[in-house]
Structure 1
Amino acid sequence: MGFGVVGIKTLFIDLPDFWFISSVASDVMKQMAKYPEKDKVRGLIKYDVDATLLVEMLYSLARSNMEVFLKKLTDGINIIRDGIFCK
């Protein structure tokens, strides 16, 4: 079992979905990097790990339903952008 983009089998998904998740996580990392101050308040500063985990968890929860996955991913990025979890 790997972690993020390190292993063939990641925390929640197997190889067939791995490349898709990695590319989406890469885009999410770029989105998350735009909000460093809010992220630092929350302690979320490792964009590569946090973005990969976010994408993997949401993909797993969506059970390969692309419409549900994209909705959850959009909601997750909006939460990060809006700083809902900020103190």
Structure 2
Amino acid sequence: MSNLVFVLDTNKKPLTPCKPSRAHKLLTAGKAAVFRRYPFTIILKKAVTGTPELITLKLDPGSQTTGIALLQDEKVIFGVELTHPGQSIKASIP
């Protein structure tokens, strides 16, 4: 899984994610600004035209953790694992 940077247009609509090197070039050229640090997201300063590629949300529910992934075609763009608090609550009860 490679790192990708999320990109927003001037109206805060999502665009196709880009590689960190491209995001760095946009930031140093002053064409974009940091919108959020986690997940790292940039917002473009000028309006752009075009349609973003389709991104699919996949969920893998489990008893102790839930996996969440964003896919572009078959490529994983972003993945997180959400730990459920149930087991820690059960362990803390005497």
Tell me whether the two structures share a fold, i.e. TM-score over 0.5: no
**TM-score of the pair, normalised by structure 1:** 0.25
**TM-score of the pair, normalised by structure 2:** 0.24
Which one has the largest radius of gyration?
Answer: 2
